[in-house]
Structure 1
């Protein structure tokens, strides 16, 4: 899915105005009408609907039940818990770890805003659901369990996780079969989350940080790309971005020079135009830019690369290279495109805060953009998803005007059944996937894959690129929604 976009090529056309053109959409929902606090709350409810394992008593989606309680049994290890990544029933380590890292980044960037919205405890619970699982998955030294479930068999049966009988095969990385991307991303998840829990649960935070250190060491000592999660999560970008990402989070968590030394002397970085589960360079670059402004002068290259990302995405930048739909949505590729929308919005939002705090601008050729420009663009992306678009409809289930009703999601599209109910796999697609009716269970808060590059959208379960949600689309929305809920931004 992810593709590296290397050094920026200059655009020939200069755009004179720094103001964003705001097209008029007949019937569109005006941004002033959007309830960001409600969207934030519902974003977190969706993550609860993606939980695997034994559910807690305060679990909000009532139609979900316990599932996959024998996960790990085939490998004689307890792997119960964690998250299903999307509308199927497989647990993939790489996107799950990225979900946790980005949730943690949001919690660390907007703690006051999340507290004001009454959602900080729900964010911590969402993070902990992932980190508890990763502690189990990394219980053996130099070994990390990275996938549970057989994706091929899983996709041959349309069944809710509570009733699935498909194989729960287990994949792992170790010293003989390395997977630097997954080990390093899991390290980043544990390091960032350790900071989140530091003030409320020191013992747990220390446990997470120690695990982050060992996973980072494992990732560095046994380098290699792991393709076991292909074709569903193939690392196209390589592992240098994950190593930089993990080292950056470990330095922020520990302030130990060994991690900064890696960043300064060993890491490989690049100017990119994307932030995603496969491509984390700009995430690290934004974090390192803050350290640069604080006085770490050796980090200027990373600050310049963060600026390059902004220049490549802002429509009014002379270096703009990312396609924006007629309605104003960032569009990188079909298939969960909204992950790039929320990812762009969050990076822009986080970097705008840093620029504002240190009174800095981003320079793109002869133009300069301040924090306000960045936040205006971030808001525009989130507003588009929530209803301020040519179709005048929300792309978040259960939120706003005319929200989607046919999420491509097994649990939501099937009625609740007894635990021992048998599902006929060949007929399951006829009975539930292909049925053109609203889902019996509302997948509250799920941001679906979204419209195409021409702002067209089909609310059909069978059109999975448009109607399938993923956890990391929502995890990247949480921080920016908290900011929008707390501050009046025009």
Structure 2
């Protein structure tokens, strides 16, 4: 196949590749393993990673060891971590067969459980939730591996007096979705996750308020109504209880959007709910309409198109981990195309009608961007002919903005001078000593420009939620090809 891309004012024919999607899938999960915090298991596959942050929680006499570092730093943020787990769980549910066929289902389950085990620890006390570990300002002043960090492991929590509806709801969604993913192979564990999800949702709903503690690193610009809808939707999927269907159809606030990300969940909930047949005056038919609106806002040929497409053909919403929006579209379009096909429905954008196959085609293109621009754009079919996934394809990134990968393995007792750490490792213009295999970096700018320079965090920093959104599309492509 080939597709035409407008680049620097000229149309270029870019050959689409027969990429090894199974390899890309396997490597995308390796990146998530490289982001683990805590005591690593004996079967850890990342040779250059070791145990880290083993005292997390001791400042408050609680056990908060485990979980994930979100990106290239050493802080554990609750909101993006939970979104990572929710979307991984959705992939495990929607693409269970494909993940089994590729042999990766057990690794996906392990990745989910690494997060849910941590959230169970963080939510032991009712109406109280530990939402962050690590002082982000101090952390960002030291370029050091997590195994050698001495920066403060400050603890942050929400409770009845200082609520955080976004984080509590997102963790509720993660636990509910994960309970479905584990229901067949570990029903006892699934039950414990579902019970915690119910408890956290009530806490979030009854004590509303935005938690600003993760700002400016993770500011919830969209508010908390999207997370409440997202959590209620997953709880309904897990329980089929009227309590949640009534909330979804009668109480919740929803909106049409052109983005799906760690901060904005409306489109995800709308796609999830579009497959349901709830009854009532305000039933879920509205969510099908809003899911269509998301598609119409993103598809380039839609008369209602809103999203900027780069000259080379890549979705670009904003600098800084832009590929999360690309993988988010790839993920939702793939899920939605399956729902539409099953129900023999289409998407109408004004006077234009789109078949489900168009969504799959566009999602595939976006997945390629996973490496650089769109499905066959991420993995290499783009104007620059390079991959945006570390360790995969042609000319992949070698300097991801990541402490653990860019600092050589040091003895555990090494005392790192934070003042010199940036000169010693961050500023060096050379490949990282440790390959961050499978990491999808932030990607090119709105003009398809990209330089492999560690200092450019907006283009070179990988994030767990970029990869978690890529797992489903890659699993589907690995088995079905398109």
TM range (shorter): over 0.9
Matched ranges for 1:226-375 at <5 A: 226-292=211-277, 298-375=283-360
Q: Give the equivalent residue in structure 1 for 2:365.
A: 380
Q: How much does 1:385 deviate?
A: 1.0
User: Runs of 4+ in structure 1 displaced over 6 angstroms?
Assistant: 24-29, 293-297
Matched ranges for 1:47-446 at <5 A: 47-292=32-277, 298-382=283-367, 383-446=376-439
Which sits farther off after the overlay, 184-193 or 384-393? 384-393
Q: Give the equivalent residue in structure 2 for 1:22.
A: 4
Counterparts of 2:416 and 2:179, CA distance in 1: 41
Counterparts of 1:363 and 1:260, CA distance in 2: 26
TM-score by length of 1: 0.94
Which sits farther off after the overlay, 383-392 or 293-302? 293-302
Q: How much does 1:83 deviate?
A: 0.1
Conserved 8 A contact 2:6-2:312 = no
CA offsets per residue over residues 96-124 of structure 1, 9 Å max, x none?
Answer: 00000000011111111111110000000
CA distance 1:259–1:196, shift in 2 (3 Å)? same
What secondary structure, in the 3-state scheme, does the structure 1 residue paired with 2:277 have? helix
Matched ranges for 1:442-457 at <5 A: 442-457=435-450
Counterparts of 1:466 and 1:311, CA distance in 2: 27
Counterparts of 2:313 and 2:42, CA distance in 1: 41
Q: How much does 1:32 deviate?
A: 2.9
CA distance 1:109–1:466, shift in 2 (3 Å)? same
Conserved 8 A contact 1:46-1:445 = yes
Counterparts of 2:313 and 2:227, CA distance in 1: 30
Counterparts of 1:309 and 1:370, CA distance in 2: 15
What secondary structure, in the 3-state scheme, does the structure 2 residue paired with 1:438 have? coil
Counterparts of 2:87 and 2:156, CA distance in 1: 24
What secondary structure, in the 3-state scheme, does the structure 1 residue paired with 2:362 have? helix
Counterparts of 1:293 and 1:266, CA distance in 2: 14
Q: How much does 1:208 deviate?
A: 0.2
Counterparts of 1:294 and 1:125, CA distance in 2: 37
CA distance 1:27–1:165, shift in 2 (3 Å)? farther
Counterparts of 1:295 and 1:483, CA distance in 2: 35
Conserved 8 A contact 1:362-1:370 = yes
Counterparts of 1:295 and 1:488, CA distance in 2: 40
Q: Give the equivalent residue in structure 1 for 2:454.
A: 461
Q: How much does 1:295 deviate?
A: 11
What secondary structure, in the 3-state scheme, does the structure 1 residue paired with 2:157 have? strand
Q: Which runs of 5+ in 1 are unaligned?
A: 1-19
Q: How much does 1:29 deviate?
A: 7.3
Q: Give the equivalent residue in structure 2 for 1:7.
A: none
Counterparts of 1:294 and 1:443, CA distance in 2: 48
Number of residues paired by the alignment?
471
Counterparts of 1:223 and 1:27, CA distance in 2: 51
Counterparts of 1:32 and 1:90, CA distance in 2: 37
Conserved 8 A contact 1:27-1:391 = no
Q: Give the equivalent residue in structure 2 for 1:14.
A: none
Conserved 8 A contact 2:406-2:433 = yes
Q: Give the equivalent residue in structure 2 for 1:13.
A: none
Counterparts of 1:473 and 1:409, CA distance in 2: 15
CA distance 1:28–1:115, shift in 2 (3 Å)? farther
Counterparts of 1:135 and 1:332, CA distance in 2: 34
CA distance 1:296–1:429, shift in 2 (3 Å)? farther
